[in-house]
Amino acid sequence: MPQLDPAPWLLILLYTWSILLVVVPPKVLAHTFPASPAAQEVQALKTEPWHWSCP
């Protein structure tokens, strides 16, 4: 049964993980967003008391 022989599959697994861990993260970290979110001014809300009208 060739599936039980780990010789070719172990090497393929190691090459795949090495490519994923060496090549992909710098490409992902180099991604820049077109518009970075800017901090907005925080405004205090003006609250007024609510008076219920009595019928």
CA angle 39, 36, 43 (to 5 degrees): 15
Dihedral sign for Cα atoms in the order 13, 19, 25, 31: negative
φ and ψ at residue 28, rounded to 5 degrees? -70, -40
| Domain boundary assignment for the chain | 1-30
pTM recorded for the entire structure: 0.43
Q: What is the spatial distance between Cα 51 and Cα 7, in angstroms, rounded to a whole number?
A: 81
**How far, rounded to the nearest angstrom, does the alpha carbon of residue 20 sit from its chain's CA centroid?**
17
Per-residue pLDDT of the chain in tens (55 residues, 90 and over written 9): 566 777 778 888 999 999 999 999 998 889 887 876 777 777 777 888 888 877 6
* Rounded-to-integer distance, Cα 21 and Cα 16, Å: 9
